[in-house]
Amino acid sequence: MQAAIDFIKEKTGNFTPEIALVLGSGLGDFTKNLNGITIEYGDIPGFKTSTVKGHKGSLFFTTLFDKKLVIMQGRLHFYEGYELSDITYPVKIFKKLGVETLILTNAAGSLREDFKPSDLMLITDHINFTAKNPLIGKNDDTLGERFPDMSNIYTEALRDKVKECALDTGIEIKEGVYVMTTGPSYETPAEVKMFGSLGGSAVGMSTVPEAIVSNYLGMKTIGISLITNYASGISKNKLSHNEVVEVGRIATQKFTKLVNAIINKL
Ligand code: HPA
């Protein structure tokens, strides 16, 4: 990790980001009109590179509303074959660089009829349905506890801030529980019914490992899902990755506006 930190510090002139933002589908163009420093994942010691269509693979360092930011353009997924330790490695690096707040965004399928495609959902809590945990293995006591509490990952105080931003910008935001599966296959209708009855509101294939590690490291965590489709069985349509990408494209503007407002307010 020290090699990665030294490399990033050298490339960015000792930039010390306070906020990290992970871009999911729907926010891919967030950095389009921003000036900053780009570092490809492939150049950073220990970083793995993403293989998914629509996902880039670079860190972007910039200042927005006087806040210093590191933006992950493209994340790694468990279904790509990476270990959860690879997926969460950047989160540990962010902490070491000085990040205090991590904003995780993703695309998700709706488990409820009243959460529609192109809706935004503030994550209140999650269900880890992968049967894997990124903290498995020897614990580094300098980073966090062996058995970390997870009762308040997405804190009410931060959620209130996000809701205020939504109100200020006139953007509607739902609230709900995010369920993570490993993917890459989408769920069956029976699984979707089960997730709904277990208290889930949306289902996706990311975010939970990063949120667990962020909370373990003592960082504040915000999670926002862009609902790109009704999960399997809720609508009669077959699911396609293109649909997910397309709704992401359409909702980009409001998602960008909201995230900008959040960064401004943090
Ligand atoms: N299921 C799982 N992951 C997803 C979905 C879905 O329906 N939509 C976007 N990501």
Is the CB of residue 203 below 6 angstroms from any atom belonging to ligand 1?
Answer: yes
Is residue 163 within 8 Å of 122, Cβ to Cβ?
yes
Is the CB of residue 27 below 6 angstroms from any atom belonging to ligand 1?
Answer: no
Using most ligand atoms within 8 A of CB, pick from 239, 245, 255 the residue to mutate for ligand 1: 239
Is the CB of residue 135 below 6 angstroms from any atom belonging to ligand 1?
Answer: no
Would you state the pLDDT for residue 221?
98
Please give the structure tokens belonging to residue 140: 């580094």
Is residue 59 within 8 Å of 38, Cβ to Cβ?
yes
241: annotated active-site residue: yes
Distance CA 4, CA 48 (A): 12
Degrees, nearest 5: CA angle 208-212-217 = 145
How large is the average pLDDT for residues 155-179?
97
Is the CB of residue 206 below 6 angstroms from any atom belonging to ligand 1?
Answer: no
pTM above 0.85, yes or no: yes
Q: Which residue has 């660089």 as its token pair?
A: 97
Is the CB of residue 266 below 6 angstroms from any atom belonging to ligand 1?
Answer: no
Q: State the distance from the centre of ligand 1 to the C-alpha of 77, rounded, in angstroms.
A: 13
Nearest CA to ligand 1 atom 3: 204
Helix or strand run (H / E) with residue 202: strand 202-204
**HSE-up (13 A, CA, CB side) for residue 84:** 19
Q: State the distance from the centre of ligand 1 to the C-alpha of 185, rounded, in angstroms.
A: 9
Distance CA 27, CA 99 (A): 20
Distance CA 100, CA 97 (A): 9
Residues with Cβ within 8 Å of residue 253, at least 6 apart in sequence: none
Q: Please state, rounded to an integer, the average pLDDT across all residues of the chain.
A: 93
pLDDT in tens, 46-102: 998 876 665 579 999 999 999 999 999 988 999 999 999 999 999 999 999 999 999
Closest to 186 measured CA to CA, from 141, 135, 232, 146: 232
Is the CB of residue 239 below 6 angstroms from any atom belonging to ligand 1?
Answer: yes
Q: Is the pLDDT confidence value at 244 over 80?
A: no
Residues with Cβ within 8 Å of residue 170, at least 6 apart in sequence: none
Residue 233 Cα to chain centre, angstroms: 25
Q: State the distance from the centre of ligand 1 to the C-alpha of 204, rounded, in angstroms.
A: 5
pLDDT in tens, 46-55: 998 876 665 5
Would you state the pLDDT for residue 227?
94
Is residue 11 within 8 Å of 59, Cβ to Cβ?
no
Is the CB of residue 245 below 6 angstroms from any atom belonging to ligand 1?
Answer: no
Q: Is the pLDDT confidence value at 143 over 90?
A: yes
126: annotated active-site residue: no
107: annotated active-site residue: yes
55: annotated active-site residue: yes
180: annotated active-site residue: no
Is the CB of residue 225 below 6 angstroms from any atom belonging to ligand 1?
Answer: no
Q: State the distance from the centre of ligand 1 to the C-alpha of 142, rounded, in angstroms.
A: 35
CA 109 to ligand 1: nearest atom: 7
Nearest CA to ligand 1 atom 5: 109
Name the residue type at position 223. G
